[in-house]
Structure 1
Amino acid sequence: MNHRIASKETAVDFLIKRFGIERSQVIDIGDNYNDIDMLKYAGLGIAMGNASDEVKKHADFVTSTNDEDGVACALKKFIFDE
């Protein structure tokens, strides 16, 4: 059981403060309902192509599915500018 205030969003917030970076510099990638708050919190929230429509509607961008190397595709697009 998780602590009642534990979430992926609070974890990202902790890391942002710990490393002194801005939310706008954060990219989060997720595919499940427990990722929604994190996707909305990040500077850029990316949903995997296999995520439900509910998760996708909270993302800024939808990448390919897990089987289609969606994380690599997102990194190429947003980090490596390919």
Structure 2
Amino acid sequence: MTEFADEARTRLAHLLRMAGSAVDEERARITDHVSNTPDPPLLGPYGIRTASCPRCRWTMWEHRDVDGSAISVCSRCGHVQGVSP
């Protein structure tokens, strides 16, 4: 497969391919996860950093606030917290 074709794949297709499972229940869980979580933020100069949300234990994506400080935002409940250096 060409690089261009691989880049055109959806997030769901990438995750299903990486899981490499033919089990319907596992594929359904991955599909549910993708449909209920936002895409990660664009890769910036700091890379992509994640943490576990203290409220719901879902994935928190690190973003930059308007003043440039690092904050984490939960992809499920929306909880926001500062990131200590």
TM tier relative to shorter chain: 0.3 to 0.5
Which of 1 and 2 has greater Rg? 2
Q: TM-score, normalised by structure 2?
A: 0.32
Instruction: Please state which structure has a larger fraction of its residues in helix.
Output: 1
Structure of higher RCO (CA pairs closer than 8 Å, 6+ residues apart): 1
Q: TM-score, normalised by structure 1?
A: 0.32
Instruction: Please state which structure has a larger fraction of its residues in strand.
Output: 2
